[in-house]
Structure 1
Amino acid sequence: MRVLSEEEISTALVSLAHWEHRAGSLARLAPTGDPEGMRAAVTGVTADESDHVATQAAPEGLVVRVATPGAGVTETDVELAARIEQTIEMGGSDARPRPPR
């Protein structure tokens, strides 16, 4: 995987308005009163690339960071951030896929 340049990351952030580039990762605060529910929702949409995602509870919600381990920000991370953003915008834990019956 190729690490994105600062210019490529800046371009990607145009469509990820709530995200920022910090310390070699893309980061966003997901405002929620249910950090564990939001963590589960994020995990639900990033399970295949879970090693790219780190979360940390914060007083205002859940901080989500996305980066390729040992590399920095790649196209995969931008795609993951977009998926996570969609989940947050859809209501977080309420947007989790329902388990099969």
Structure 2
Amino acid sequence: MRVLSEEEISTALVSLAHWEHRAGALARPTPTDDPAGMRAAVDGVTADEPGHVAVRPVPGGLVVRVATPGEGVTETDVELAARIEQTIEMGGSDSRPRPPR
């Protein structure tokens, strides 16, 4: 997997409005009243790429971070972030959204 350049990451973030690039990962705060349910929903849509997603509880929700272990941000991570975003927009539904094209 090829690590994306800063310019490529900036371009990808245009379509991921709630995400930002920090510390070598894409990150997004996720406000929720049901952290366990949201975590399960995130896990459900990212299960095919183990190790790329880290979820940390914070007051009022979760912070989701996506990166390729030991590498940084790759196209796979951008695709995972888009899946996660779609799940969050669906209210944490555990149905699997179609991957973006």
TM interval, short-chain normalised: over 0.9
Equivalence for 1:7: 7
2:44 is aligned with 1:33: no
Q: 2:95 aligns with which of 89, 94, 97?
A: 97
- After superposition, the CA RMSD in angstroms is 1.1
Equivalence for 2:99: none
Gaps of 5+ in 2: 97-101
TM-score, normalising length: structure 2: 0.92
Where 1:33 maps in the other structure, the secondary structure is coil
Equivalence for 2:86: 86
Using the aligned pairs only, state the percent identity.
82
Q: How many residue pairs are counted as aligned between the two chains?
A: 96
Where 1:40 maps in the other structure, the secondary structure is helix
Letter in 1 for 2:94: R
Q: How far, CA to CA, are the matches of 2:86 and 2:16 in structure 1? A: 10
Q: How far, CA to CA, are the matches of 1:50 and 1:15 in structure 2? A: 23
Please list every run of at least 4 consecutive aligned residues from structure 1 whose deviation after the TM superposition is greater than 2 angstroms.
Answer: none
For the pair shown, the structure with the greater C-alpha radius of gyration is: 1
Q: How far, CA to CA, are the matches of 1:60 and 1:7 in structure 2? A: 32
Where 1:81 maps in the other structure, the secondary structure is helix
